[in-house]
Amino acid sequence: MQWLVLVLVVVMLTSAVAVLVLKDFLAALAALSVVSLGLSVLFVILRAPDVAMTEAAIGAGLSSLLFALALRRLGLWRNGGRP
Amino acid sequence: MQRLSSALFLLGLGLLIAAIFRGMEFGTVAPIVGQAINSAAAEQVGAANFVTAVVLGYRGFDTLLELTILFTAATAGGMVLGKRSPTAKRDPDAGFILQAGADLLFPLLVIVGLYIILHGHLTPGGGFQGGVILASAFFVPILARPGTRMSHTAVSTIEGLAGASFIFIGLLAMFGGEAFLTPLMGQGELGALLSAGSLPVLYLAVGLKVGSELAGLLAQLSESEAVD
């Protein structure tokens, strides 16, 4: 179980750094939802299935959808983020 | 200068977080309130899922305020981002695979969302999670066919009715001489679908409100014009 947590934390930290570094906004969005997904698995390991469901539905699903729609509205979703 | 102050701020924040986490062990909790609730919730509220007993039974007023915060955030997001000029062109329909996939996914997502809402007092999940799944279910057809419009009057009617019924159930308890949002209608058998009194009804209201609110927000955002 310790190993799983370690792998998850490394994946989450890597994708959190990738959110900052990536030039393409949509790719950064995908990396952001990877962070949320890893967090929801961590919640399952901590025996909090309620919170894990909320994190998976809202953090990984709905908020990335909202971000994508906002990027579309602002014209930042194509051409690697250059308007 | 700005970099220096940012570095100082980060250092202070790091020290604060480190001080908080030094005394905490990963995976263990300090059970003070939790044990009391674990031993009393099954008798007092009658919900097999103790999280629901806390969210709607012991802390129902907090849930009402949470709904208010969500409503305010959704309204503000829709106001800022949801503008559309009447001459803006619409996105074309998606291809065959996405359309067929959307038709397949829609009933499945609706069933899963309703299941999670209606079993909120028995299994993990509840109104918020199921409501989000319902909202994404009703957004999938729009994703496949951007030309279709979601009826905003229907969405806001459902949302208003659900929110009003949540407050009305709370007020019913007050008319009976109890505190606001006290669970009503007896407890029933622990673990049965019809148990825990008015908690499933409250969660249904929460789920419908969250679902219609977020579906309306998503539809409004997707109807807004895209900047190319």
Cβ B228–A50 below 8 Å, yes or no?
no
Nearest CB among A52, A58, A69 relative to B221 is that of A69
> At how many degrees (to 10) do helices A25-45 and A63-74 cross?
170
CB-closest option in B51, B135, B221 to A70:
B221
Provide the number of structural domains found in chain B: 1
For A22-75, the pLDDT digits (tens) are 888 888 999 999 999 999 999 999 888 889 998 998 888 888 888 888 888 887
pLDDT of residue B113: 92
Structure tokens, B141: 């057809």
Q: What is the pLDDT of residue A82?
A: 54
> Do the chains contact at B128 and A46, CB–CB below 8 Å?
no
A18 alpha carbon, distance to own chain's centre = 10
Q: Is residue B228 part of a domain?
A: no
CB-defined contacts A:B, below 8 A = 59
- In contact, B228 and B150? CB cutoff 8 Å: no
Quick check: A66 and B77 CB within 8 A? yes
Among residues A31, A23, A33, the alpha carbon closest in space to that of A81 is found at A23
Q: Which band of pLDDT confidence, cut at 50, 70 and 90, is reported for residue B29?
A: low
CA A50 to chain centroid, in Å, comes to 19
Burial of A27 from C-beta contacts in 10 A (0-12 / 13-18 / 19+): middle
**Tally of CA atoms within 13 A in the half-sphere of B179 that contains its CB:** 6
Are the beta carbons of A8 and A42 closer than 8 angstroms? Answer: yes
List, in order, residues 6 or more apart from A24 with CB less than 8 Å away: A80, A81
**B24 occurs within a structural domain:** yes
Nearest Cα residue in chain A from B224 = A73
Looking at residue B11, its pLDDT comes to 95
Residue B96 lies in a domain: yes
Q: Find out whether A36 and A56 touch, Cβ atoms under 8 Å.
A: yes
| Structure confidence at residue B28 (pLDDT) | 67
Asked, for residue B214, whether it belongs to a domain, the answer is yes
Residue B158 lies in a domain: yes
Helix (H) or strand (E) holding B200: helix B199-223
Can you tell me the distance from the alpha carbon of B139 to that of B132, in angstroms, rounded to the nearest whole number?
A: 11
- The verdict on a CB contact (< 8 Å) between B136 and A74 is no
The interface predicted TM-score (ipTM) is 0.81
- What is the SS3 assignment for A34-70? HHHHHHHHHHHHCCCHHHHHHHHHHHHHHHHHHHHHH
Host domain of residue B51:
2-223
What integer pLDDT is reported at residue B150 of this predicted model? 78
Residue B15: pLDDT band (50, 70, 90) is very high
Q: What residues 185-224 of chain B have any CB closer than 8 A to a CB of chain A?
A: 214, 217-218, 221-222, 224
CA–CA separation, A32 vs A64, rounded Å? 8
